[in-house]
Structure 1
């Protein structure tokens, strides 16, 4: 699955905005961002 995702990114099958990064200490803010997106936009979580 990851290989397919990165291949799609390389081939520019979809566009991504600038990533937002959150420190673990900012988990509440990150959670609010996730909820605000709803099902409108895909979200990629990278640990």
Structure 2
């Protein structure tokens, strides 16, 4: 019942989208910030 409601209603689909989006952000932000920190270190060494 809960799975049917999650994937068949508008607010259920939006909830799934938000969860997937937040999981993607939790992977992308650390990668992005780590890359920027390495670029800053390279700039400071030169």
For the criterion TM > 0.5, the same-fold answer is no
- Give the TM-score of the pair, scaled to structure 1: 0.30
Q: Which has the larger share of helix?
A: 2
